[in-house]
């Protein structure tokens, strides 16, 4: 594993975070009625978590000598709240797996702080996924 490969992985994570920030903002605007109001309330704190993740990743990429991505990962724009949440769940679980893999990469190049932080971010995303699964069970 090389530092350049880790930087590329982190840039993929960063693009996912930018995409999630945009996706959640878009979904909040497209959410109506009582279920929509509940989704909007769920997304508010999640947006802040995603922004913190993006900020951390941006700093680390620069610290490692890379150029941070400013392009978001593309996402689906389904029409119903349930479909939106299903997309979110898939993307959150993908983020969990990517963070776990990139944490191992960070460990391989001796970046202990980065490893631990990426594991914490994986746990954050897993928590988001758990909340989404709970909401989907009630739909």
Taking only the tens place, the pLDDT of each residue in 13-38 is 999 999 999 999 999 999 888 888 88
Q: Is the pTM of this model over 0.85?
A: yes
Taking only the tens place, the pLDDT of each residue in 34-74 is 888 888 888 888 899 999 999 999 999 999 999 999 999 99
Domains recognised in the chain with CATH numbers: 3-68+75-137 (1.20.1260.10)
User: Can you tell me the distance from the alpha carbon of 4 to that of 26, in angstroms, rounded to the nearest whole number?
Assistant: 33
- Maximum alpha-carbon separation in the chain: 50
Q: What is the pLDDT of residue 72?
A: 97
Name which of 38, 27, 43 is nearest 80 in CA terms: 27
In the chain, the N- to C-terminal Cα span, in Å, equals 43
* Mean pLDDT taken over the chain: 94
Helix 112-137 and helix 33-63, axial crossing angle in degrees, nearest 10: 170
Contacts of 135 (CB under 8 A, 6+ apart): 38, 39, 42, 85
């Amino acid at each position: 594993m090389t530092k350049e490969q880790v930087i590329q992985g982190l840039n993929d994570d960063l693009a996912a975070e930018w995409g999630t920030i945009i996706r959640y903002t878009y979904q909040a605007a497209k959410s109506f009625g009582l279920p929509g109001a509940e989704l909007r309330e769920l997304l508010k704190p999640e947006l802040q978590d995603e922004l913190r993740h993006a900020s951390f990743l941006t700093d680390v990429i620069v610290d490692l000598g890379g150029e941070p991505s400013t392009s978001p990962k593309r996402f689906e724009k389904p029409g119903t709240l349930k479909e939106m949440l299903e997309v979110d769940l898939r993307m959150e679980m993908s983020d969990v797996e990517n963070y776990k893999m990139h944490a191992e990469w960070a460990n391989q190049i001796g970046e202990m702080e980065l490893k631990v932080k990426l594991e914490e971010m994986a746990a954050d995303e897993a928590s988001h996924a758990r909340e989404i699964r709970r909401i989907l069970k009630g739909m």
